[in-house]
Amino acid sequence: MNAANPNMTKIEMERSLKLNRSRKNLRRDVGKAIADYSMIEHGDKVMVCLSGIVKCAFILSPEQQSEITQVLLTQLPNHSELTFMQDANLIGGIELLGNGSKISWNITDYLSELDLNIEHLLDHKFRSQE
């Protein structure tokens, strides 16, 4: 039982924690993309609306689809429609496509980025030794 909500079961608490983590990750990733690519500048007016596709390496249950939709509704109130699809090429990952943008995470991308980071570190280390 949860001290904040004594009626919550352990499973409900775990789902709530996962949902909160998903919200934080979505906010972080969107904020990082906006900053990295200077997508919004001071004084810009922004209307956020999402119509897109959620691709996942595995089939999402209706409950999982609902949880993802709820997170997006909370973060993007002008949400219009989501389509859920399975894509076996997203090894262990998930991808959100909408309005010409993509937010994704999958093992293939993660390992590729890790490889580039290691290569960069080794290159930097060897240059500093010269």
pLDDT value of residue 46? 63
Query: At 55, is the secondary structure helix, strand, or coil?
Result: strand
**2 band by pLDDT with thresholds 50, 70 and 90:** very low
Q: Are 54 and 90 in contact (CB under 8 A)?
A: no
Q: Can you read off the two tokens belonging to residue 85? A: 């699809």
pLDDT value of residue 118? 92
**90 band by pLDDT with thresholds 50, 70 and 90:** confident
Going along the chain from its start, the domains and CATH numbers come out as 10-40+47-129 (3.30.2320)
- Say how many C-beta atoms besides its own lie within 10 A of residue 18's C-beta: 13
What's the pLDDT tens digit per position in 25-81? Answer: 877 887 788 788 887 777 776 655 556 788 888 888 889 888 888 887 776 666 567
- pTM for the structure as a whole: 0.46
Amino acid identity, position 40:
I
Torsion angle (degrees, nearest 10) of CA 105, 106, 108, 114: 50
What CA–CA distance (Å, rounded) separates 92 from 82?
A: 20
